[in-house]
């Protein structure tokens, strides 16, 4: 009887701690760090939640591990500078304030050019 009770409790706790496949959640102070994964185990997206809302910096990756986007949130709203990298090296910069687009800049290449 004790073994059955122990196994029942074990399954209950395992169910409470189960996370969505491809998702890892970690408590860091008043934030929750979320990491989403592709089926191959590569990180797909990583960022934070505060009070169940997107908060702070979020980074997205392609399945090959290259960065595809860098985003910022404040209290669940898009804010600040967002960067998007295309597969051919072009960068798009989008400036947000309170979920509203303020400015969009498209850069032809990710390579910096410096001339004296």
**82 within a domain of the structure (yes/no):** yes
CATH number of the domain that residue 95 is part of: 2.20.110.10
Q: β-strands 31-37, 100-107: how paired? A: unpaired
Examine residue 50 and state whether it is found in any structural domain, yes or no. yes
Which pLDDT belongs to residue 107? 85
φ, ψ dihedrals at 111, nearest 5°: -85, 135
Count of domains for the chain: 1
Q: Is residue 80 part of a domain?
A: yes
Q: Is residue 52 part of a domain?
A: yes
The answer to whether 73 and 79 have CB atoms below 8 angstroms apart is yes
Going residue by residue through the chain, which has 116 residues, state the pLDDT in tens, using 9 for 90 and above.
444 434 343 344 444 344 567 999 999 999 999 999 999 999 999 999 999 999 999 999 999 999 999 999 999 999 999 999 999 889 999 999 989 999 999 987 655 544 44
Region for 30 from its dihedrals, namely left if φ exceeds 0, alpha if ψ lies in -120 to 50, beta otherwise: alpha
CA distance 61 to 95: 20
Is residue 34, in this structure, part of any structural domain at all? yes
| Residue 100, domain extent | 23-107
Is residue 97 one of the residues assigned to a domain?
Answer: yes
């Amino acid at each position: 009887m004790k073994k059955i009770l122990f196994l029942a409790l074990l399954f209950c706790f395992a169910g409470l701690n189960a996370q969505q496949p491809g998702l890892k959640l970690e408590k860091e102070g008043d934030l929750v760090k979320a990491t989403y994964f592709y089926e191959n185990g590569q990180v797909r997206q990583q960022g934070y939640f505060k009070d169940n809302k997107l908060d702070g910096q979020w980074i997205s990756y392609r399945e090959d591990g290259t960065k595809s986007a860098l985003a910022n949130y404040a209290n669940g709203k898009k804010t600040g500078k967002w960067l998007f990298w295309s597969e051919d090296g072009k960068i798009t910069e989008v400036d947000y304030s309170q979920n509203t687009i303020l400015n969009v800049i498209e850069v032809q290449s990710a390579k910096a050019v410096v001339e004296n």
